[in-house]
A and B are shown apart, each in its own frame.
Chain A
């Protein structure tokens, strides 16, 4: 049972003041084992806050992130990768291209950011997840402005994707169950 938080595109403070309070209420230390952050946090404070939730924090830097020391991508043991910026030749919006890209990376779960648009997509090579924006910050690409993040529960090859969404001031939780392809 491994819990992984996929969160990104906060755009604090430029486009949003802070994470929604109801999210902060739920995100407490001691529960999550890994955090994958797909960039566009924007400031050090946010980084520190996420670090307090879980020491194993991985970043993929977005185009608006200030601090250049965040690495662009990191790899996990159980093959999840986070990509914030689109690879030049891979249109993020084209799912087939994404799938091919993921195949080349040879990872089971690909977490993407940048578009602030939530997505959960499965293909033969694995699963692609875009957790959306945790603050609901507007982006040039999508009008879907609900604050959102994703929590993955990985148990061997079985993955439960819990989607936490703030709608009209209430947190709504959906889940997706899927199985990773065996190697």
Chain B
């Protein structure tokens, strides 16, 4: 294994010192803990999600190139969400145990949020460091970061009212089955057969149907035909929603809370699929929607929490708009597709840690497609426990460059943090490690990722 300075021709690498690694990275402070908590079996037997009890893994339905199926992620069950009026799951860090720095940040965030016009730049800056848990402000901050709420407070009410009523219209348009549509139609024109309907006897009157509208219609414009053609997508959505975060009571289980949350997720994904025929539904969208909906539903302000479904829909659209090209199979090989994005990660690693890059991609042939596909398309929701992924999303959503840039930096940081183990490992152990990323101090991770931002200028 080579240890000399990377002579790969990139001038930037040379500027980084002999090992090709920035000096500050050599500090042991930034190395992650050596062994992961053995909470899941590390038998790399890849189990595909077939039945609910097995650990949930998300293997995106279409793999652009053949890759070994990822082994199950170690389930890190965060404590389940209590009634919706409380904020993020109570972990160890109740508000009273927030660090001084976090308390100060919380104070600044609240101050920013109470201004007449929110300074979005300042909000981004604060949010990128992480929104303290248990403060109940994540919901509003995310809505601002995603552009759902305007910066001027005085417009919030009318904007929200407009969007929420628009969503209601979407539900009526897209979630009704043909029977319900027929019923609605009848109600709008008024019952014509009243006399025969209410009591009375007699032969029922036949009436002709219009426009070939009957359940067995094969007509292209028939609502019945369209309904049955969409059944497949709807069934896929239902399957995926049922398997979203099976370890969290908020999402899964027999409680009425879980059921109503699942129904909300289902509605949002169905409406999105129908509004976007070019992309429809792709497996994994449920995983991106889940944290959004969770945060919005746990807004301590009940007036907002009750509209979580509508708000989450628009936030989901907004969030996905930056990433939808990753889900479009036709674009896989294009300049905007997932392969290109992964290659950017590769370039980033090469720039900041040439030694690691070479060991990974050349020596041990761990192609980033094998692990980064899931990292990127699912916005790291599968790599960390739920609470940690919310922190990461604070950083992703707050970056003015757009979530993709920060995402790549975080991915790069993830690699760098475990560089010692990667450098010592072979193909199998490295792949296993990266597909089963160990628990990490998220603050460290985000710090490292941020540093990469700073030094990318050369």
Contacts and interface: CB of A to CB of B under 8 A. Distances in A.
B23 interface: no
Nearest to B182: A160
Interface in A53-68: none
B206 A175 contact: yes
A155 B179 contact: yes
A153 B196 contact: no
Interface of A: 1, 3, 25-28, 30-31, 95, 99, 119-124, 127, 151, 153, 155, 158, 160-164, 173-179
Given A1-B180, A160-B179, A174-B209, A31 B216 contact: yes
A176 B206 contact: yes
Interface stretch (B33-41, B64-72, B197-205, B443-451): B197-205
A124 B198 CA distance: 9
B218 A177 contact: no
Nearest to A25: B218
7 residue pairs, one from A and one from B, having the closest CB atoms: A1-B179, A155-B179, A174-B206, A26-B216, A120-B204, A123-B201, A176-B204
Contacts of B215: 3, 31, 151, 153, 162
Contacts of B200: 122, 124
Contacts, number: 83
A173 B228 contact: no
A177 B185 CA distance: 12
A167 to B, nearest CB: 13
Contacts of A26: 216, 218
B114 interface: no
Nearest to B212: A173
Contact of B204 (A30, A99, A127, A164): A127
Interface of B: 177-180, 182-183, 186, 193, 196-209, 212, 214-216, 218, 228, 231
A179 B203 contact: no
A173 B208 CA distance: 7
A160 B204 CA distance: 11
Given A30-B231, A173-B209, A175-B207, A151 B214 contact: yes
Given A3-B215, A158-B183, A173-B214, A121 B203 contact: yes
A119 B206 CA distance: 11
A174 B34 CA distance: 73
Contacts of B183: 155, 158
A50 to B, nearest CB: 15
Tell me the interface secondary structure of chain A in the complex.
strand
B236 to A, nearest CB: 15
B179 A153 contact: yes
Contact of A124 (B196, B199, B228): B199
Contacts of A27: 216
26 contacts: A1-B177, A1-B178, A1-B180, A26-B216, A26-B218, A27-B216, A30-B231, A31-B215, A31-B216, A99-B201, A121-B203, A122-B202, A122-B203, A124-B200, A124-B201, A151-B215, A151-B216, A155-B180, A162-B209, A162-B216, A164-B214, A173-B214, A175-B206, A175-B207, A178-B193, A178-B196
A28 B60 CA distance: 31
B186 A177 contact: yes
Contacts of B193: 177-178
B201 to A, nearest CB: 4
Contacts of A124: 199-201
B197 to A, nearest CB: 5
Report which residue of B179, B186, B200, B202 has the largest number of chain A beta carbons within 10 angstroms of its beta carbon. Answer: B179
B192 to A, nearest CB: 9
Contacts of A28: 216
A30 B183 CA distance: 23
B204 A178 contact: yes
Contacts of A176: 204-207
A28 B182 CA distance: 22
B214 A175 contact: yes
Nearest to A178: B204
Nearest to B216: A26
A158 to B, nearest CB: 6
Report which residue of A164, A174, A175 has the largest number of chain B beta carbons within 10 angstroms of its beta carbon. Answer: A175
Nearest to A120: B204
A122 B202 CA distance: 6
A39 B214 CA distance: 25
Contacts of A99: 201
A13 B200 CA distance: 41
A133 B269 CA distance: 44
A120 B209 contact: no
Contacts of B199: 124
Nearest to A162: B214
A37 B201 CA distance: 25
B197 A179 contact: yes
Report which residue of B179, B200, B215 has the largest number of chain A beta carbons within 10 angstroms of its beta carbon. Answer: B215
A121 B203 CA distance: 4
B417 to A, nearest CB: 50
A164 to B, nearest CB: 7
B237 to A, nearest CB: 17
Contact of A164 (B180, B182, B208, B216): B216
A121 B202 contact: yes
B203 A120 contact: yes
Contacts of B197: 178-179
Contacts of B231: 30
Contacts of A162: 209, 214-216
Contacts of B216: 26-28, 31, 151, 162, 164
Contacts of B201: 95, 99, 121-124
A90 B101 CA distance: 86
A102 to B, nearest CB: 12
A100 B451 CA distance: 84
Nearest to B202: A122
